[in-house]
Structure 1
Amino acid sequence: MVYPILLNDTSSGYSRQHLEVILQLPPERKISQVGQPNGAIPSGAIPDGTIPSEAIPDGTISDEGTLLHVSQWVEDDVTQVAAQLQNSLKILRTPTNRIKTQAQQLYGWIIRPFEQDLDVASDRNQSPIQTLVFVLDGPLRNLPMAVLHNGEQYLVERYAIAITPGLQLLDSQPLQRQSLNILLGGAENAPSFSAVGLGALNNVGRELNGISTTVPTSQTLMDQTFLKTNIQQNLETTPYNVVHLATHGNFSSDPEQTFILDWQQPISAQEMDRMLNVSDPQRAIEHPIELLVLSACETASGDSRAALGLAGIAIRAGARSTLATLWQVNDASTTEFMVRFYQELTNPNTTKADALRKVQLSFLNDNHRTRHHRPNRWAPFTLVGSWL
């Protein structure tokens, strides 16, 4: 697990950025010397008590594993570089070389000090470290870690990647592929879309049909049947372990600005909580939602904590993980991505994070005619919560 923490220091009379990065390795990993260690972790570095405020010496071994720590003053503005990279990723016409240059700066600060400990140079299939789980702070929260670049390859080319909102994870049990049961819902041109000035999603039907072909046990609520009451009723009567909603939506750290659209109207954050939570608490424990997929939704523009709003939806719904996009992606591209994702997910030896990685790599290596290879098309898909 990787915890980059960004701090601002004005004690010298001008603002400097101090980046603390903590790496937690499994207990069996050997400790090597980490570059530029510099003492204790500042109290309150991560809000809400997600890490202890006392000093963590470099190389400390705990029951949870090995903690390695690097502290560095950053000459360039991390916030500015993160914002520039995010803006570059959202614009399809941005030259890929510019994206790689910006992504290399962040890689140098966050990953490069730990390359030896993370087996970066080793064969992925021969390394015990195949997945990186990030706890992200400040301007890094809405940035896809998959796009970080070491000058030769993207981070996703070496690791599967997931995000968690804090050190205390939801119960991380593997998804049971043999009992995969999906509730699919979505709309192409709902009245609720035009009511708030949003366009049609012309490929939603193809997306849901493609997924239901891959997983025949799926149930589909499409267009006029895609209503909050129907979703809630289906969840009450059938123990679905995956819920996939293909519709417009917005996720913010402010619950009042968080919503998705059914056929008729917006569904607020509070209404989503009620809709996704079944009334029988025992069944919710025995048959939780393993994966909540929010296709075609996006995080709120300018809200550095928007991804936390997305994570909050999953946690309150009892969903072990959520797959969503950090910004809106081309409709046809999203459809292709989601269909491929479920094709990978049906493999019993593939984790959710691995399934996501494999589809991102298939896009990255796609021919240039489709434009799937551009980071704008594959980077925004983010897994929050359990990666198993």
Structure 2
Amino acid sequence: MTDKSQIKPLIRVKNLYKVFGPNAKAVLKQVKAGKSKEDILAETGHTVGLCDINLDINPGEIFVVMGLSGSGKSTLIRHFNRLIDPTEGVIEIAGTDVMSLNEKGLQDFRRHKMSMVFQRFGLMPHRTVLQNIGYGLQIQGLSKNDWEARAHEWLETVGLGGYAKQYPSQLSGGQQQRVGLARALCTDADILLMDEAFSALDPLIRSEMQDQLIELQEKLHKTIVFITHDLDEALRLGDKIAILRDGVLVQQGEPVDILLNPADDYVEAFVKDVNRARALTVETVMKPQVVRISAETIGEAVAEMRKAKDDYGYFINDEGYQGVITQETLENVKKADYGNAIDESMLEDVPSVQTDALLEAVIPETLESDHPLPVLNAEGEVEGRLSRSTLAEVLSEQSTASDKETDSDTKKPFSNKDDTSGNNKAA
């Protein structure tokens, strides 16, 4: 297993500030002195876009940046490919200081290192679907045969085989965004910037595009910076999430950290209505595994059980987890039979669950079982346990938070608008 602490960030942002206006450098002193964004705008006419942003984005992860309109999220992403230059700060991509690039170096950087997918598709209406997808390769100087071949491959990958000669106006919104995604991927850039890429789509198509992005990412392992204002989307896609408010980075971390440990009232206000059962996986809430009984004989199992604090254990043999064996069952065996092998009839059939399963999917089995369910990883090894009490604790925290309603709708900055079921409370 890779030690995450040893991974070198692909994108590193340090002490990044952006002030919009003719005297940005002078106004920056006021920003650093702690004057508010509103006061600076009123007194100087300058707008604070970003204030002391620090973040690391690792290779192969989907890093989601969230925020309301005006929070600075789109401003931030446009710094990565220098569509916007900072007032002050460092932006490093793969160890290269982006601010040090000259015009030609920046042009090459944009053509080969980064691709971008826009909210409104950004397709050229006078070019066919195939020509739109292959445009970046044409700019790179590839021959017609080469760029067409690669464009055809990506056309098939995003499920639009047969649409090569169509024009954007002949496609639905979802199809146009698939073309935009194929165009961004076609250049084989290391980094994909996606600025509200799915927000213009209706909820069903949006969900399908999220599915496709997850499926593609499992194969491609690109580094994706994804901008959204929708918490459900962020939780579904993000390996890491950063939340901006008025140009300030208020919290960043893994989705479970954001959900279970909000940094302040602002973050807590919009995570409280998330259906945790749909957002959290078993791995994020499971407790350490109980005793493993791996003995071959009943006598050996009795000895292992006596060392344990619990009155049951997960019986595991060469074929993996087999079921639960209890202290009571073992105590009912005569000592004369201690040399016998553990029989299948001695085991209770307690189903296992996978680490990556959503809590929503395992609620019925958890509630029906007298014992905590063993949690298995992808290799079939027991990594932990999930009990009714753990489930109740995690979900009741949400219920408690929901009971603390304030009298202002402004305490709910981000909407979970794709949840049309009306069931946005924990089960």
The alignment's TM-score, normalised by the length of structure 1, stands at 0.25
The alignment's TM-score, normalised by the length of structure 2, stands at 0.23
Structure label with greater radius of gyration: 2
Comparing both structures, which one devotes a greater share of its residues to helix?
A: 2
